[in-house]
Structure 1
Amino acid sequence: MSEQPSTTVAVATQGAAPTLRQQVQSMEHQFALAAPRGVEARQIVRDALTAISQNPDLLKCDPQSVLGGLMTMAQLGLRVGVLGHGWLLPFKDWKTRQFKAQLVVGYQGLVELAHRSGKIRSISARTVHENDHFHVEYGVDERLVHRPATGDRGEVTGYYAVVKFLPDGHSFYYLTKAEAEAYRDRYAMAKTKDGNVVGPWKTEFDAMAKKTCVRQLSKFMPKGTDLAVALSIDDTVRVDLDPHMPAELVSTHPERDETPATVHVDEQGADA
Structure 2
Amino acid sequence: MTGKIQAATTKIPASGTEKGMTMTEYVKAMQPAIKKALPRVMTPERFSRITMTALSNNPKLQETTPQSFMGAMMTAAQLGLEPNTPLGQAYLIPFKNKGKLECQFQLGYKGLIDLAYRSGEVISIQAHTVYEKDEFDFEFGLEPKLKHIPTKETSKGDPVWFYAVFNTKDGGYGFEVMSVEDIRAHAAKYSQSYSSSYSPWKTNFEEMAKKTVLKKVLKYAPLKTDFVREISQDESVHTELSEDMTNLPNEYIEPEYEVDQEGTADEPSEAEKAAILESERLEAGNED
Place the TM-score, normalised by the shorter chain, in its bin.
0.7 to 0.9
Q: Are 1:7 and 2:12 matched, yes or no?
A: yes
- Give the equivalent residue in structure 1 for 2:56: 53
Is 1:209 aligned to 2:212, yes or no?
A: no
Q: Deviations over 1:141-174 (max 9, x none)?
A: 1111111111132221111111110120101111
* Contact 1:67 1:239 survives alignment (8 Å): yes
Instruction: Say if 1:62 and 1:101, in contact at 8 Å, map to a contact too.
Output: yes
Q: Percent identity?
A: 33
CA distance in 1, matches of 2:41, 2:253: 32
Q: How many residues align?
A: 253
In 1: Cα distance, 2:287 partner to 2:166 partner: 16
Unpaired segments of 5 or more residues in structure 1?
263-272
From 83, 88, 94, give the equivalent of 2:92. 88
Post-superposition CA distance 1:114-159 (Å, at most 9, x none): 1011111111111001111111101111111111111132221111
Summarize the alignment of residues 142-181 of structure 1 with structure 2, pairs less than 5 Å apart. 142-152=144-154, 153-181=156-184
Partner of 2:246: 247
Query: In the superposition, relative to structure 1, how do residues 58 and 141 fare at CA in structure 2: closer, same or farther (>3 Å)?
Result: same
SS across alignment from 1:251: coil
Q: Tell me: CA distance 1:44–1:188, structure 2 relative to 1, closer, same or farther (3 Å).
A: same
Cα 1:220–1:28 change in 2 (3 A) is farther
- Which segment is superposed worse, 28-37 or 215-224? 28-37
Q: CA deviation at 1:233?
A: 1.8
User: Using the alignment, how far apart are the partners of 1:227 and 1:36 within structure 2?
Assistant: 16
8 Å CA contact retained: 1:237, 1:253: yes
CA distance in 1, matches of 2:11, 2:196: 38
Residue 64 of structure 1: how far off its partner (Å): 0.2
Per the alignment, residue 222 of structure 2 pairs with 222
Q: Give the counterpart letter for 2:248 in structure 1.
A: L
If asked which structure has higher relative contact order (CA below 8 Å, sep 6+), I would say: 2
The corresponding residue for 2:274 is none
Task: Write the distance in 2 (CA, Å) between the matches of 1:72 and 1:140.
Answer: 40
Aligned residue in 2 for 1:115: 117
TM norm structure 1: 0.82
One-letter amino acid of the counterpart of residue 70, structure 1: M
Give the CA deviation at 1:85: 1.3
Change (3 A) 1:32 1:115: farther
Deviation at 1:26, TM superposition (A): 3.6
Match of 2:218, as an amino acid?
A: S
From 94, 99, 102, the counterpart of 2:101: 99
User: 1:11 & 1:28 partners in 2: Cα distance?
Assistant: 13
Runs (5+) with no aligned partner, structure 2 = 1-5, 255-279
TM-score under structure 2 length normalisation: 0.77
Cα distance change, pair 40–143 in 1 and its aligned pair in 2 (3 A)? farther
Whole-angstrom CA distance in 1 between matches of 2:212 and 2:168: 19
